[in-house]
Amino acid sequence: MCAASNPVAGRNGLAVLDPEEIRRALTRIAHEILERTHGGDGVILLGIPTRGVPLARRLAARIGEFEGLDVPCGSLDVTMHRDDLRLHPARALGRTELPPGGVDGKTVVLVDDVLFSGRTVRAALDALNDLGRPRAVQLAVLVDRGHRELPIRADYVGKNLPTSQREVVHVLLTEVDAQDSVMISGEGGKP
Amino acid sequence: MKRHLISAADLSRGDAVLILDTAEELASLADRPIKKLPTLRGRTVVNLFYEDSTRTRISFEAAAKRLSADVINFSAKGSSVAKGESLKDTALTLEAMGADAVVIRHGASGAAHRLAGWVQGSVLNAGDGTHEHPTQALLDAFTIRRRLRGTGTAGARGAGLDGLRVTIVGDVLHSRVARSNVLLLSTLGAEVTLAAPPTLLPLAVGSWPCAVSYDLDSELSKSDVVMMLRVQQERMSAAYFPSVREYSRRYGLDAARMARLPGHAIVMHPGPMNRGVEIAAEVADSVRSTIVEQVANGVTTRMAVLYLLLGGTEFPATGVAQ
């Protein structure tokens, strides 16, 4: 989770994905989900707040366009399951909203903006465990920036982005930030 | 947020709204198969109860357990307090046992404040004498917001209680619930009116952020919320009204008075009720009454408070108490 709700204005960074590229990446992921799940039967998309949620909605809309399939879409807040809670002041919770019917027996595709250490995904797997028993869990991310600290990998990746530990990757989405782009900044300790 | 929750006045509007928003997210937990979160694993919460209580103690216990904290219940009866141990010595004992939070109910006003100066952990006031009961006010505000401002998505999130008219009726003098509610609800933007006989209003009520009326009937038609208080006979050392019957006639909420409320208005009571004194049975059991809901919301709200006080970084040990 590098893309916290930081203000966008005045940030100097390098744009690595423009709106068109984000659109194409999501289109490809939507097709891949359909392919791997044999037509998307029993699939539900759960976005991890904040920016995973609009990404999950966009993927659901694409899948609807391509196959006329209504894929249930929801959100999964992982705050209470994080392993770094004690390192920060208590934070506000995001929303957990499951589609009617829950997760039991479904193929759950978790959706997030950036995959980094893998700790958010671990928290999401724990949170999911308390909500029911999915048939399978997969992971879709817009950007995989490497530096994993846990044995976790994504099933669907929008873009593999080699980064250094000190760089910061920001995903900006129209629904949250009024623009679509992926920026990389902060090499050399700049915020 | 401050480190302790002693008074509703400690909460800024931002703090209060954050607690309500957190509670709103935690409310969905009640519908899930596993009603438990791992967030406070390894933390210890002590319930230190010097006064009898059913719902508050159980509510705090349930809240702490749903967040996976360890709970130690301590009641004055059957403990060293019965042998004459002072509050300070008891506090130091708890401190030595490593309590991360102490939930205290005490008959003396200011007990929670004193305790906060003696222990390292967070102190949550669960009622001190006739002073304050801030988590009750928070759960009341949460109940009001859910009923009158909607639940779920965007609607309620971040909202206060601006423009709502709340009438608090009855024994304000002995009520810690009333004081905390006046402070919190006015912080959240509600207009609070106290309706009570002059003998049951505190002397300094003029300095409270609320209006005062001696006539309940004139307030009914403009109230969005009516909050009935229990007549606390156990705290009354003198005659504050001629008879229970007369009190009930003038300040009790019966079906006829409830009919004069606006259509959307709700009736609240912090419990325990004296049915037939301040509230008639048919009012307590009506659809407008939120009394049972308040109990359920109590667990959720207290989970939110415990999470926000204990869930993050520990407050620096050298921090100023309060």
C-beta separation of B37 from B29 below 8 A: yes
d(CA A100, CA A28): 27
**Partners of residue B44 on adjacent β-strands:** B70
Q: Which CATH architecture has domain A14-84+91-184?
A: 3-Layer(aba) Sandwich (3.40)
Does the distance separating the beta carbons of A130 and B32 come in below 8 Å?
yes
What is the distance between the alpha carbons of residues A22 and A174, in angstroms, rounded to a whole number? 11
Q: Please judge whether B314 and A130 are an interchain contact, meaning their C-beta atoms are less than 8 angstroms apart.
A: no
Q: Specify the CATH number for B134-290; select among 3.30.930.10, 3.40.50.1100, 3.90.245.10, 3.40.50.1370.
A: 3.40.50.1370
Query: Which chain A residue lies closest to B2 (C-alpha atoms)?
Result: A89
Nearest Cα neighbor of B166 from B138, B192, B144, B140 is: B192
pLDDT at B183: 97
Strand order in the sheet with A181-185: A14-17, A181-185, A168-172
| Predicted ipTM of the assembly | 0.85
| CATH superfamily of the B8-133+296-310 domain | Aspartate/ornithine carbamoyltransferase (3.40.50.1370)
Q: Does A176 touch chain B (CB under 8 A)?
A: no
Tell me which H or E stretch contains B284.
helix B281-284
Q: In whole angstroms, what is the distance from residue B303 CA to residue B156 CA?
A: 19
Which candidate in B4, B66, B105, B106 is catalytic? Answer: B105
Look at residue B204 and give its three-state secondary structure.
Answer: helix
Q: Is the pTM here over 0.80, yes or no?
A: yes
- Active-site residue, B54 included: no
Size of interface A-B (CB pairs under 8 A): 50
Interchain proximity A85–B311, CB inside 8 Å: yes
Inter-chain touch B22–A132, beta carbons under 8 Å: no
Q: Provide the token pair at A185.
A: 């900044």
Judge whether B56 counts as a catalytic residue. Answer: yes
3-class DSSP state of B56: helix
Place of tokens 């009354």: B236
Q: Which whole-number Å values give the CA distances from A114 to A10, A23, A140, A147, in the listed order?
A: 22, 16, 10, 12
Contacts of B1 in chain A (CB under 8 A): 90
Tell me what the mean pLDDT of segment A99-118 comes to.
Answer: 96
pLDDT value of residue B151:
73
pLDDT at residue B155, rounded to an integer: 57
**Nearest-CA distance B33 → chain A (Å):** 7
Given a cut of 70, is residue A5 above it in pLDDT? no
CA dihedral (B89, B90, B92, B93) in degrees, to 10, reads 120
Residue of chain A whose Cα is closest to the Cα of B39: A80
Tens-of-pLDDT digits for all 322 residues of chain B?
789 999 999 999 999 999 999 999 999 888 888 899 999 999 999 999 999 888 899 999 999 999 999 999 988 877 777 778 899 998 888 888 889 999 999 999 999 999 999 999 999 999 999 999 999 999 999 999 999 988 755 557 889 999 999 999 999 999 999 999 999 999 999 999 999 999 999 999 999 999 999 999 999 999 999 999 999 877 777 788 888 899 999 999 999 999 999 999 999 999 899 999 999 999 999 999 999 999 999 999 999 999 999 998 876 544 333 3
Active site residue B275: no
* Chain B partners within 8 Å of A105 (Cβ): none
Q: Are B308 and B22 in contact (CB under 8 A)?
A: yes
B75 vs B56: CA distance, rounded Å: 13
Q: Note the pLDDT tens digit of each residue in A59-103.
A: 999 999 999 999 999 999 999 999 999 898 888 899 999 999 999
Judged by phi (left if over 0) then psi (alpha if -120 to 50, else beta), residue B214 lies in alpha
| B249 is known as an active-site residue | no
Structure-token pair, residue B8:
């509703």
pLDDT in tens, A157-187: 999 999 999 999 999 999 999 999 999 987 6
Instruction: Give the distance, in angstroms, between the CA of residue B21 and the centroid of all CA atoms in the same chain.
Output: 17
Assess whether pLDDT exceeds 90 at residue A51: yes
Whether residues A89 and B33 touch (CB distance < 8 A) is answered with: no
- Predicted local confidence at residue B152, as pLDDT: 59
- Nearest-CB residue to A130 (from B18, B34, B309): B34
A-chain CB neighbours of B17 within 8 Å are none
A12: left (phi over 0), alpha (psi -120 to 50) or beta: beta
Cα of A79 to nearest chain B Cα, Å: 9
Distance CA A163, CA A184 (A): 9
Q: Among all residues of chain B, which has the CA nearest to that of A127? A: B37
Which pairs with CB-CB distance under 8 Å and at least 24 residues apart come from A141-144?
A141/A111, A141/A112, A141/A113, A141/A114, A141/A115, A142/A17, A142/A22, A142/A25, A142/A26, A142/A55, A142/A112, A142/A113, A142/A114, A142/A171, A142/A182, A143/A17, A143/A113, A143/A114, A143/A115, A143/A169, A143/A171, A143/A182, A144/A114, A144/A115
Per CATH, B8-133+296-310 and B134-290 having the same topology is answered yes
pLDDT at A6 over 50: no
Cβ–Cβ < 8 Å for A76, A91: no
List residues in chain B touching A: CB distance below 8 A: 1, 18, 21-22, 25-26, 28, 32-34, 36-39, 153, 307-314
> CA of A129: which chain B residue's CA is closest?
B34
Which residues does A153 contact at the CB level (< 8 Å), separation at least 6?
Answer: A139
Say if the Cβ atoms of B37 and A130 lie within 8 Å. Answer: yes
Structure letter (DSSP) for residue B5:
B
Q: Give the distance from residue B112's alpha carbon to the nearest chain A alpha carbon, in angstroms.
A: 23
Q: Is the peptide bond before B54 cis (omega within 30 degrees of 0)?
A: no
Report the pLDDT value the prediction gives residue A3, as an integer from 0 to 100: 43
The whole-number pLDDT of residue B320 equals 39
* B250 a catalytic residue: no
> What are the residue boundaries of the structural domains of chain B, listed by start?
8-133+296-310, 134-290
Angle, vertex CA A53, rays to CA A48 and CA A57, nearest 5 = 140
Residue B320's Cβ-count burial label (10 Å; 0-12, 13-18, 19+) is exposed
Mean pLDDT of all residues belonging to chain A = 90
Encoding tokens for residue B304?
């939110």
* Angle value at C-alpha B98, between B97 and B99, nearest 5 degrees: 105
